[in-house]
Structure 1
């Protein structure tokens, strides 16, 4: 059913006859007659009783009652689609991994929502591995996460290296040491995240290169944002991203460690097929890129 046919029908009802409706719409009367005939054929029922005056049939009265709502929804849809095309409305689905999901994403989305109040934001929090799957399954549009294994269908745009710091219980003997090296931590109990976590992999590389075999078995904690509470409970120490443990919670302190390697890279993960990307997605990516401290580099296709 064409919208213009509904508008012609409404004009006839408003002006009382075909001739006046044709003049109002700037159509010829035969055109108006042809449009109503087409509408009646599509619906399979008569809308008008013709005579000296025209009157609505029962079907015509029903259509007239619903036509205003139909046209109003059509106009609202047009406005929504125009807003979407211009990047002012729509839905954006973003995924994020910790600690950025808690420490960085809220401020990013606050700024974005102030600029785009009509955009609905949906947030998923998960691991980098799961976020990759969500992107490939079209469950999210973009992800803010640490670098993962390259994939032929995904692009990773690095933004920064996570800064690593040492988190200690406030009463720890090392609190007064002016300069701390990794080798000073050899006899400590480390709190580590699971083996698939990019932070765990990088921290184990640091420990392996400068400490070697740990004297005490580490305690594994499934969640980088909760490490600080285990340190607070005096269960061990942790090498953790600064953004996840700053400012320190009561009962804990942070200290720099000499000669630490860079932490894993944080960046924006997107599907390689940019033709599926909306203007809203592109503008949110631009907002996220304000985090960038790594010099911009050409985005290249990644391969398996």
Structure 2
């Protein structure tokens, strides 16, 4: 059933006859008659009782009652498709690992949705390894995460290197120290993320290089964003990315450590074939790149 036939039908009902409808739609009257005949043939029903005046049949009244909502939906669909094609609307599925999911993505999306108010966004949180699989299975369009192992189908766009700070309880002796080096931490209880975490790998690399073996047993905490609360409860100290622990929560203090290494790389992970991405997803990709092109953004 063609939309133009429905529009012709509704115009005839609104204006009361075929002649006025033809003038309004800038068709000839035979064209209008032909269109209504075609519509009746498609539907298999008669829509008008013709005489000195036209009267709707029962089927015609039913079509008339439903046609306006059908035309509105059609117009809405056209607008939505136009916005999608222009890159102003559509669904963007972004994945993110912590702490970026909690501490960076909200600001990114706030900026993006101000520019693209018609965009819909879906945020998925996972580890870098999980996000890699989601991209390969087309469950997300792009990911903000640490650099994964190279993959033929994916490409990584570095944005920055994470920086670390020491977080300790406010009443800990190290809280008052002005100068701290890694060797000063050898007798402490450390709070670590799981072994596969990029932050844990880099921290253990630093500890091995400057301390060797820790003298106290460590505590493993599954989430990097939760570690500060374990420090707050005096369960230990932690080396953590600044974005995850800044500003410090009550009962904790952040301190610089002189010989810390640069943290793991944070960046955007996408499929190599950008042709599979919608314009709105590419817009978000560009938005994030522009935001992190400024040296003040971390």
Partner of 1:163: 163
Partner of 1:254: 254
Displacement after TM superposition at 1:200 (Å): 0.8
Displacement after TM superposition at 1:294 (Å): 9.3
Q: Which runs of 5+ in 1 are unaligned?
A: 296-304
Contact 1:167 1:255 in 2 (8 A): yes
Deviation by residue 1:106-139 (Cα, 9 ceiling, x = unmatched): 1222222222222222222222222222222222
Partner of 1:205: 205
Partner of 2:48: 48
| Aligned-residue RMSD, C-alpha | 2.0
Partner of 1:100: 100
Displacement after TM superposition at 1:221 (Å): 0.6
Displacement after TM superposition at 1:240 (Å): 0.4
Q: Distance in 1 between matches of 2:167 and 2:290?
A: 27
| TM-score computed with the length of structure 1 as normaliser | 0.89
1:281-292 mapped onto 2 (5 Å cutoff): 281-292=281-292
Q: Distance in 2 between matches of 1:255 and 1:276?
A: 45
Once superposed, which parts of structure 1, at least 4 consecutive aligned residues long, lie more than 4 Å away?
none
Displacement after TM superposition at 1:105 (Å): 1.5
| TM-score computed with the length of structure 2 as normaliser | 0.91
Q: Distance in 1 between matches of 2:189 and 2:290?
A: 37
Partner of 2:273: 273
Partner of 1:132: 132
Aligned length: 295
Displacement after TM superposition at 1:227 (Å): 0.9
SS where residue 254 of structure 2 aligns?
A: strand
Partner of 1:193: 193
Partner of 1:76: 76
Q: Which runs of 5+ in 2 are unaligned?
A: none
Q: Distance in 2 between matches of 1:293 and 1:176?
A: 36
